[in-house]
Amino acid sequence: MDTRKRQPIGVELVKRGIVKEKDIENALQYQREHPSKKLGDILYILNVCEPNKLIEAIGDILGEKGILLTGEKIKVKLTDYFSLDVAQKNKVVPFEVASGKIKVCFANNVNNKNINTVKLLLLNKGLVMDSYITFESDIDKILKSMEGEVTTDFDVPTENNDTIIGLVDSIIKTGMKRRASDIHIEPMAEEVRVRYRIDGELFTAAKIKKEKQQQIIGRLKAISNMHQEKQEAQDGRILLYEDYNIRVSSQPNVYGEKFVLRLLKKNANIKNIFDLGFPGTEEELRNSIHKKNSITIIAAPTGEGKTTTLYSIMDYLNRPEINITTIEDPVEIRIPGLNQIEIDNKSSFSSSLRTVLRQDPDIILVGEIRDTETGEIAIQAGQTGHYVLSTIHTIDSIEVITRLRKMGLSDYDISSTLATTISQRLVRKICPKCRKERKYNDIEKKIITDIGEKYNVKFDMSGTTYDAPGCKYCNNTGYYDRIGTFEVLNLTDEIKEAIMLGKSSLEIRNIALQQGYRPLVVDGIQKVIKGYTTLEELNKKLLIF
């Protein structure tokens, strides 16, 4: 969008004679009652002038071409260019294509980030984007009408099951079949929406009549061992399915109680650490994790695979002559040869860790450092000859130091015990069934080159990259499964000294960069170069452009 300094849109429209001052006053009154609505859309809703003239004037004011988008003007199939989810997220509809140029229409309140995302997606398909804007309500209406037409190839649960028991069972089993990590069952104003999180992305799978809401809630509470009469947040578990341990969380919202089911496979295979995407050689891995008298911490936001990486490291270190004990909430995968402890209502990480220290462990896994007490005991364990592995919620491996400081741990304890921090993000892998080779375009080359120059890394773009248009195998998303991007910070003597001296995370980062540390984005670009993922997918996690 054009961001040049201009008068408020209402003033501009009055000056151009499109609307009257009274119309603006009425629109502003309407906006006070509906604060999420933009002025242009309100004027359209109030029908104060001819819609074509209104959107053309708004487009001219914003430095874009305005168009009143109707179904008759749409001459292309949306999913030939991107998924319905991408269209909904970016509020965009393609409507015409010819001679390598594609016309797309955005909602009039969309931002530059959304426009650039769509532009790059289309450029990767060899199409130059010609952008227009229209009223947000019309974009929403068009995308809503497509929901019934655009299939994600789910075997979706339907209301045709004979009983509520069958319906809930169908919802859960479909999630298992489709590799969902979470199932969201959400009461809405006029329906109950079912969504699955697959490879980190949410997909709408079904919409169920509102009249069945209370029966669904009752069934979920019954099989989760929750109180039926309580209309408050609760936690429970479903143990009806042989291969799964399902954690259930309920939370009241304005339309009823929402449920999220976390699907945990009981006997999931533990992946080799390198199959997860861990960079470097086995020798480099050993230097990072094969230690005593120290702590290794894995850092990432929620849902980015920290626990999976911990399990892979545990599996790598597991030998008969080593006593490994884990403290988890919950135990997600049972590993033969390990002593695994599950936190319950009567225990905590800190209290369990005190007990474990009396069990003669060599290696201790603490599921998460959540508070000062757990951090202090973990530090003490590292200082008394044990090797401790844990996770923490923070944005990257450098910020682990800041997080521990904020918990109240001393610079001496951190520098003397912390040995390695690992940060990671999960990105979706390009679908192997429908991916298509192509050359890097100029925009991609510039993005990759700029990152390489910033971190003094030479990326090889002589080969090809890939697009994936989507197919039945990947539910028309173009992606299947996920891979990790990693950064590893091994605390050298210089970094430990900087911590002892109380230097900031920025100063520590500069020292680390001089000693070979490379941030997440470098490994991410390497995975793009190797054909595992795309720049668009990497950008979702790391905001690189």
- Asked if residue 258 and residue 342 are part of one domain, the reply reads no
- Asked if residue 176 and residue 30 are part of one domain, the reply reads no
Q: Are 109 and 136 in contact (CB under 8 A)?
A: yes
Determine the pLDDT at residue 277: 94
User: Could you give the CA distance from residue 464 to residue 530 in angstroms, rounded to a whole number?
Assistant: 9
Structure tokens at 127: 């199409």
Nearest alpha-carbon partner for 393 in 279, 309, 299: 299
pLDDT by residue, tens only, the chain of 545 residues: 444 455 788 898 999 899 999 999 998 988 888 888 888 889 998 988 999 999 999 999 988 999 999 888 898 888 778 877 788 888 999 999 988 899 999 998 888 888 888 988 888 777 899 999 999 989 988 887 776 544 444 455 655 556 889 899 999 999 999 999 999 999 999 999 999 999 998 888 888 999 999 999 999 999 999 998 888 999 999 989 988 889 999 999 999 999 999 998 877 778 899 999 999 889 999 888 877 889 999 999 988 999 899 999 988 999 899 999 999 887 878 888 899 998 877 788 888 888 898 899 999 999 899 899 999 999 989 988 899 999 999 999 999 999 999 999 999 999 999 999 999 999 999 999 999 899 998 889 999 999 999 999 999 999 899 988 888 888 888 899 999 999 999 999 999 999 999 999 999 999 999 999 999 999 999 999 999 999 989 998 998 87
- Asked if residue 173 and residue 141 are part of one domain, the reply reads no
- Asked if residue 18 and residue 135 are part of one domain, the reply reads yes
User: In which element (H, E) is residue 286 found?
Assistant: helix 282-289
Domain count, the chain: 3
Cα dihedral sign, 194-199-200-203: negative
User: Could you give the CA distance from residue 227 to residue 129 in angstroms, rounded to a whole number?
Assistant: 54
- Asked if residue 201 and residue 321 are part of one domain, the reply reads no
Q: In what order do the strands lie in the sheet with 92-98?
A: 65-66, 128-134, 101-107, 92-98
Please say which residue of 211, 234, 265 terminates a domain.
265
User: In which element (H, E) is residue 453 found?
Assistant: helix 442-454
User: Does residue 270 lie within any of the structural domains?
Assistant: no
User: Does residue 104 lie within any of the structural domains?
Assistant: yes
User: Does residue 3 lie within any of the structural domains?
Assistant: no
User: Could you give the CA distance from residue 24 to residue 450 in angstroms, rounded to a whole number?
Assistant: 46
User: Could you give the CA distance from residue 445 to residue 440 in angstroms, rounded to a whole number?
Assistant: 6
Secondary structure of residue 258 in the 3-state scheme: strand
Burial class (CB in 10 A: 0-12, 13-18, 19+), 191: middle
- Asked if residue 506 and residue 423 are part of one domain, the reply reads yes
First to last CA, the chain: 16
User: Does residue 442 lie within any of the structural domains?
Assistant: no
Please say which residue of 146, 173, 195 terminates a domain.
146
Cα 32–Cα 36–Cα 38 angle in degrees, nearest 5:
85
Q: What is the CATH number of the domain that holds 112?
A: 3.30.300.160
- Asked if residue 184 and residue 249 are part of one domain, the reply reads yes
Domain housing 308: 282-427+482-520
Q: Are 404 and 425 in contact (CB under 8 A)?
A: no
User: Does residue 341 lie within any of the structural domains?
Assistant: yes
User: Looking up tokens 């490291």, which residue turns up?
Assistant: 313
User: Could you give the CA distance from residue 111 to residue 538 in angstroms, rounded to a whole number?
Assistant: 19
Count CA atoms closer than 13 A to 301's CA, side-chain side: 6
- Asked if residue 218 and residue 339 are part of one domain, the reply reads no
The secondary structure of 353-420 as a DSSP string is: HHHHTTS--SEEEES---SHHHHHHHHHHHHTT-EEEEEE--SSSSHHHHHHHHTT--HHHHHHHEEE
User: Does residue 435 lie within any of the structural domains?
Assistant: no
User: Could you give the CA distance from residue 473 to residue 304 in angstroms, rounded to a whole number?
Assistant: 23
Question: Which residues in 267-293 are b (16+ Cβ under 10 Å) and which e?
Answer: eeebbebeebbbbeeeeebeebbebee
For the chain, give the number of residues: 545
Structure tokens at 392: 């923490």
User: Does residue 311 lie within any of the structural domains?
Assistant: yes
Three-state SS letters, 97-125: EECCEEEEEEECCCCHHHHHHHHHHHHCC
The secondary structure of 26-89 as a DSSP string is: HHHHHHHHSTTS-HHHHHHHTT-S-HHHHHHHHHHHHTSEE----GGG--S-GGGTS-HHHHHH
- Asked if residue 19 and residue 113 are part of one domain, the reply reads yes
- Asked if residue 191 and residue 139 are part of one domain, the reply reads no
387-392/201-209 β-pairing = unpaired
- Asked if residue 294 and residue 181 are part of one domain, the reply reads no
Please say which residue of 92, 120, 146 terminates a domain.
146
Determine the pLDDT at residue 147: 62
Q: Are 154 and 178 in contact (CB under 8 A)?
A: yes
User: Does residue 354 lie within any of the structural domains?
Assistant: yes
Q: In what order do the strands lie in the sheet with 387-392?
A: 339-342, 324-328, 363-366, 387-392, 294-299, 418-430, 479-490
CA distances from 513 to 158, 214, 418, 508, 517 (A): 54, 56, 18, 9, 5
CA distances from 310 to 10, 176, 186, 423 (A): 56, 23, 32, 12
Q: Are 295 and 422 in contact (CB under 8 A)?
A: no
CA distances from 412 to 273, 344, 397, 415, 431 (A): 31, 33, 18, 5, 47
Secondary structure of residue 274 in the 3-state scheme: coil
Which residues, listed in sequence order, are joined to residue 438 by a DSSP beta bridge? 465
Determine the pLDDT at residue 280: 85
User: Could you give the CA distance from residue 19 to residue 39 in angstroms, rounded to a whole number?
Assistant: 12
Please list the helix, strand and coil fractions of the chain in percent, rounded to the nearest 5, in that order.
40, 25, 40
Q: What is the CATH number of the domain that holds 227?
A: 3.30.450.90
Cα 341–Cα 346–Cα 350 angle in degrees, nearest 5:
60
Secondary structure of residue 492 in the 3-state scheme: coil
Read off the pTM. 0.74
- Asked if residue 347 and residue 225 are part of one domain, the reply reads no
Q: What is the CATH number of the domain that holds 303?
A: 3.40.50.300
User: Could you give the CA distance from residue 235 to residue 386 in angstroms, rounded to a whole number?
Assistant: 34
pLDDT per residue over 429-479, tens digit each? 999 999 989 999 888 999 999 999 999 999 999 989 998 888 888 888 889
